[in-house]
Amino acid sequence: MSEAITTEIIVLGAGAAGMICAWEAARRGRRVIVIDHARTPGEKIRISGGGRCNFTNLHCGPKNFLSANPHFAISALKACTPEDFISLVDRHGIAWHEKTLGQLFCDGSARQIVDMLTGGLAQGGVELRLSTTVESVCQSADGFVVATSGGTIHATRLVVATGGKSIPKMGATGLGYDIARHFGHAVTETRPALVPFTWPDHLAGDWAELAGVGLTVRAEAGGARFEEAMLFTHRGVSGPAMLQVSSYWREGEAVRIDLAPETDLAERLSAERKARPKAQPGSVLAEILPKRLAQRLVARLDLKDARLADLSNAALSTITSQFKDFSFLPGGTEGYRTAEVTLGGVDTAGLSQKTMESRRAPGLYFIGEVVDVTGHLGGHNFQWAWASGVAAGRHA
Residue 171, CB-side half-sphere exposure with 13 Å CA sphere: 18
User: How confident is the model over 210-244, as pLDDT tens digits?
Assistant: 999 999 999 999 999 999 999 999 999 999 999 99
Q: What percent of the chain has pLDDT over 70?
A: 99
Amino acid at site 42: G
Residue 260 clears pLDDT 80, i.e. is over it: yes
Domains of the chain: 5-191+341-395 (3.50.50.60), 196-333 (2.40.30.10)
Residue 389 CA, chain-centre distance (Å), reads 17
Q: For residue 30, which of 165, 121, 166 has the smallest C-alpha distance?
A: 121
Q: For residue 288, which of 313, 320, 333, 246 has the smallest C-alpha distance?
A: 320
Q: What is the mean pLDDT of residues 240-259?
A: 97
User: How confident is the model over 156-187, as pLDDT tens digits?
Assistant: 999 999 999 998 888 888 999 999 999 999 99
1 pLDDT tier (thresholds 50, 70, 90): very low
Q: For residue 188, which of 373, 391, 329 has the smallest C-alpha distance?
A: 373
Identify the helix (H) or strand (E) that includes residue 74.
helix 74-79
* Strand, helix or coil for residue 146: strand
Residue 177, CB-side half-sphere exposure with 13 Å CA sphere: 19
User: How confident is the model over 93-122, as pLDDT tens digits?
Assistant: 999 999 999 999 999 999 999 999 999 999
- C-alpha 201/C-alpha 216 separation (Å) is 25
153 pLDDT tier (thresholds 50, 70, 90): very high
Q: What is the mean pLDDT of residues 127-141?
A: 97
CB 105 within 8 A of CB 115: no
Q: What is the mean pLDDT of residues 123-148?
A: 97
User: Residue 206: its pLDDT value, please?
Assistant: 82
Look up residue 379 and give its DSSP letter.
Answer: T
Look up residue 368 and give its DSSP letter.
Answer: G
Residue 35, CB-side half-sphere exposure with 13 Å CA sphere: 26
User: Residue 144: its pLDDT value, please?
Assistant: 98
User: Residue 2: its pLDDT value, please?
Assistant: 60
Residues 224, 228, 229: CA angle, nearest 5 degrees: 130
User: Residue 213: its pLDDT value, please?
Assistant: 97
Per-residue CA distances from 353 to 110, 138, 215, 372, 388 (Å): 29, 24, 40, 12, 9
3 pLDDT tier (thresholds 50, 70, 90): low
- Mean residue pLDDT across the chain: 95
Q: What percent of the chain has pLDDT over 90?
A: 92
User: How confident is the model over 274-309, as pLDDT tens digits?
Assistant: 999 999 999 999 999 999 999 888 888 887 778 999
Residues 6+ apart with CB under 8 A from 73: 62, 65, 67, 353, 373, 384, 387, 388
